[in-house]
Amino acid sequence: MSRLDYPAIRKRISIRQVLELLGNKPAIQRGPQWRGPCPICSNGVGRIQERSFSVDLHRHLFRCFRCGRSGNQLDLWLQISGRPLYPATLDLCRRLGVEPITLENPQPRNGH
């Protein structure tokens, strides 16, 4: 199994793309700040008026003030999918049509 380059993948996938994939719409949008229902703790049945979920579109970070979960775009997908990091990241890349970036095998340090 190859190792994924998670920082490079995060650069290719925005938190906005993940939110759109989830069908999450903001109740309030002020520039790069979104507030709305949490896709994690409201399980998609949150009222649009709810504003417990805060997203910074520039920094690709989220935080829910109800359930306390926070993180980046991959963390959000992990919480929603309930899968481990590797398969969840591959699934997200596939759904968004993004080629997963893998790390090359490091060369031995002793020159052998």
Overall average pLDDT of the 73-83 stretch: 96
Q: What are 53-63's pLDDT values in tens digits?
A: 999 999 999 99
Could you read off the pLDDT of 39-57 as tens digits, one per residue?
998 765 555 557 899 999 9
Give the phi and the psi of residue 89 in degrees, each rounded to 5. -65, -45
User: What integer pLDDT is reported at residue 112 of this predicted model?
Assistant: 47
* Residue 107 reports pLDDT greater than 50: no
Q: Are 38 and 61 in contact (CB under 8 A)?
A: no
Find all residues with CB under 8 Å of 3, minimum gap 6, and list them: 102, 103
CATH architecture of 6-96: Alpha-Beta Complex (3.90)
pTM, two decimal places: 0.83
Domain boundaries, the chain: 6-96
Q: Is the pLDDT of residue 84 over 90?
A: yes
pLDDT given at position 16: 95
Measured CA to CA, the distance from residue 101 to residue 50 in angstroms comes to 36
